Amino acid sequence: MTASYKKAYPFEVSPQSVDFNFQITLSSLTALLMETASKNAEENGFGTRHLREGSNTWVLLRMAIEMDSFPKQFEQIYIETWVEDIGRVSTTRNFHIKDRNQNTVGYATSVWAMIDYNSRKPQDLLQLGNMQRFATGEKVPIEKPVKLKEMKGRLTDDFKAKYSHIDFNRHVNTMRYVEWISNCFTPDYYNRKKLKRFDINFMSEILFGDPIQIYLTEDEDNDTYFFEMCSQEKTSCRAKLVFEEQ
Amino acid sequence: MTASYKKAYPFEVSPQSVDFNFQITLSSLTALLMETASKNAEENGFGTRHLREGSNTWVLLRMAIEMDSFPKQFEQIYIETWVEDIGRVSTTRNFHIKDRNQNTVGYATSVWAMIDYNSRKPQDLLQLGNMQRFATGEKVPIEKPVKLKEMKGRLTDDFKAKYSHIDFNRHVNTMRYVEWISNCFTPDYYNRKKLKRFDINFMSEILFGDPIQIYLTEDEDNDTYFFEMCSQEKTSCRAKLVFEEQ
């Protein structure tokens, strides 16, 4: 195996990516994971730049992140990434997040599909012959992204998808969902608790102008929270967050 | 003058920073300017990391951006920055944005103050003896940031400051104001018009949980828009955007 099958990308945690505690936000961390995935896919010949020639694009289906600690402002981190497997309908990409001394601070794992940019229909990944040789089979030592069931609790937020929420795929960006989920907790809660594990499932796209409702179910005894995000009677996204004492 | 007085930082326009047109958003561009300012200040010994030892921090008072074109996804750009002048209450930092061939794509200029992180009181910049020698006197070929007058038009948005809006200074982040302004235009408008110049003035902080009202006054004949953002009867921020035909 050569370096391109498994590669670490360096990042410095910028002041624009941290919260009031000088700690990287979950959405900024997600953005770095997406950026790492994008860079690695581009370098290996199956990034959106190459796919676009055939009018295909990548969409995230599920992701899980488990963190021992959240890096602080100005910290140097390394995100190592590789493709675990590739099937007809989806591929698994893993991440190992390390500190400046190469100690583990967390892991993430993600499942992706390829769709046609115009028809929005799923495409056969095995047509990307080039990509198959990058499947290393190597797992991460955390549970795979959980498939979440319907948990439509109380309505906590209700608004419309705006310009800044929409990305190059013309739908609401992953980071925005993560931001909206993060916003359901107070600074006081973040002072007391630490996010241990985050699972997110994407089921249907939200486009510009679509209404969004966010529902929340709490299991406070277990520091566990379930989110259901809906648009026009359809579930767009589900998420589960597990916190622990600081 | 050595390189540290005036230095260019390279960036690649990431997929996470572009809009539905694959073009860097105004808020992502603002984030890159802030990151450039932060990096340069850190390198020269008057960044927040150094200031924090004396419990001071930088806050942006006014900024103006003029763009010939907005860089696209995966484009390599360079943001050159330097300090123009430094007085007791504020300092001017300029930016020259260039493409991969070192051609100009835009300019920005910004005015900053230093406050005490705990008392929120303005501090005397001349106490930063180290910083004064970085004042180059060099201007940018665009008008200085305009001081905007009250223009309280129609209410276009009304919400509260949430967790993801608050940064390391414990107040609403510059990028969020820019996002909220950008969200008052539709994708159709962005397809027809191109932002030429952006001015923003910051007057008072917005803290977690504060209510925010956004007012808009349009001068459509001149493609000019004025924003007034208020919280608890006080104006927090004003902005002016001038568009032109694509």
| End-of-domain residue from the set A130, A145, A160 | A145
ipTM: 0.93
Q: Residue B25 and residue A96: Cα distance in Å, rounded?
A: 29
B21 plus B116 within the same structural domain: yes
DSSP B171-212: SB-HHHHHHHHHTTS-HHHHHHEEEEEEEEEE-S---TT-EE
| End-of-domain residue from the set B145, B170, B188 | B145
Mean per-residue pLDDT, A54-70: 95
Does the distance separating the beta carbons of B16 and A35 come in below 8 Å?
A: yes
What residues of chain A lie within 8 A of the CB of B49, using their CB?
A: 74
3-state secondary structure B130-163: HHHCCECCCCCCCCCCCCCCCCCCEEEEEEECCH
Look up the domain containing B129 and give its range.
Answer: 1-145
Is the pLDDT reported for residue B164 higher than 60?
yes
B107 plus B52 within the same structural domain: yes
B121 plus B93 within the same structural domain: yes
Using alpha carbons, list the distances in angstroms from residue B11 to A124, A168, A244, B78: 34, 18, 37, 6
| End-of-domain residue from the set A145, A165, A199 | A145
Say which residue the tokens 């809906």 belong to.
A230
Q: How many of the other CB atoms lie within 10 Å of CB of A12?
A: 15
Per-residue pLDDT of A151-161, as tens digits, reads 989 999 999 99
Percent of chain A residues topping a pLDDT of 70 = 98
A160 plus A220 within the same structural domain: yes
Per-residue pLDDT of B171-184, as tens digits, reads 999 999 999 999 99
3-state secondary structure A201-241: EECCCCCCCCEEEEEEEEEHHHCEEEEEEEECCEEEEEEEE
Give chain A's largest Cα–Cα span. Answer: 51
Helices (H), A136-199: 174-182, 187-192
Q: How far is B97 from chain A (nearest CA, A)?
A: 19
What residues of chain A lie within 8 A of the CB of B22, using their CB?
A: 168
Distance of CA A219 to the CA centre of its chain: 23
B105 plus B225 within the same structural domain: no
A123 plus A197 within the same structural domain: no
Q: Residue B91 and residue B46: Cα distance in Å, rounded?
A: 12
Q: Which residues contact B3 (CB under 8 A, 6 or more apart)?
A: none
Q: Using CB atoms, pick whichever of B25, B162, B168 lies closest to residue A18.
A: B168
A87 plus A182 within the same structural domain: no
Per-residue pLDDT of B195-218, as tens digits, reads 999 999 999 999 999 999 999 999
Does the distance separating the beta carbons of A74 and B16 come in below 8 Å?
A: no
Mean per-residue pLDDT, B45-65: 89
Q: Using CB atoms, pick whichever of A18, A27, A162 lies closest to residue B183.
A: A162
Q: Best residue in B51, B58, B167, B178 to probe A by mutation, most A CBs within 10 Å?
A: B167
| The pair of three-digit structure tokens given for residue B245, joined into one six-digit string | 């035909």
Is the pLDDT reported for residue A2 higher than 90?
no
Residue B120 region by backbone torsions, left for phi larger than 0, else alpha for psi between -120 and 50, else beta: left
Amino acid letter for position B224: T
Q: Among all residues of chain A, which has the CA nearest to that of B74?
A: A49
Q: Which of residues A52 and B76 earns the better pLDDT score?
A: B76
What residues of chain B lie within 8 A of the CB of A22, using their CB?
A: 168
B219 plus B98 within the same structural domain: no
Q: Could you tell me which residues are beta bridge partners of residue A97?
A: A79, A106
The pLDDT score that the predictor gives to residue B1 is: 41
Mean per-residue pLDDT, A173-194: 97
Mean per-residue pLDDT, A150-171: 95
Q: Best residue in A12, A14, A20 to probe B by mutation, most B CBs within 10 Å?
A: A20
Question: Distance between terminal CA atoms of chain A?
Answer: 39
Percent of chain A residues topping a pLDDT of 90 = 87
Cβ pair A21, A190 in contact under 8 A: yes
Quick one: which H or E segment has residue B43?
Answer: helix B26-44
What residues of chain A lie within 8 A of the CB of B208, using their CB?
A: 20, 186-187
B131 plus B161 within the same structural domain: no
| The pair of three-digit structure tokens given for residue A135, joined into one six-digit string | 């499947």
| The pair of three-digit structure tokens given for residue A127, joined into one six-digit string | 């047509």
Q: Among all residues of chain B, which has the CA nearest to that of A207?
A: B20
A53 plus A16 within the same structural domain: yes
Categorize the per-residue pLDDT at B13 as very low, low, confident or very high, splitting at 50, 70 and 90. Answer: very high
The pLDDT score that the predictor gives to residue A191 is: 96
- How do strand B234-245 and strand B193-202 relate by DSSP bridges? antiparallel
B171 plus B125 within the same structural domain: no
On average, the pLDDT of chain A sits at 94
The pLDDT score that the predictor gives to residue A3 is: 43
Total structural domains in chain A? 2
A169 plus A184 within the same structural domain: yes
Is the pLDDT reported for residue B16 higher than 70?
yes
Categorize the per-residue pLDDT at A49 as very low, low, confident or very high, splitting at 50, 70 and 90. Answer: confident
Categorize the per-residue pLDDT at A1 as very low, low, confident or very high, splitting at 50, 70 and 90. Answer: very low
Q: Using CB atoms, pick whichever of B35, B162, B183 lies closest to residue A16.
A: B35
Per-residue pLDDT of A108-145, as tens digits, reads 999 999 999 899 999 999 888 778 889 999 999 999 99
CATH for A87: 3.10.129.10
User: If you compute the radius of gyration of chain B from its CA atoms, what whole number of angstroms results?
Assistant: 18
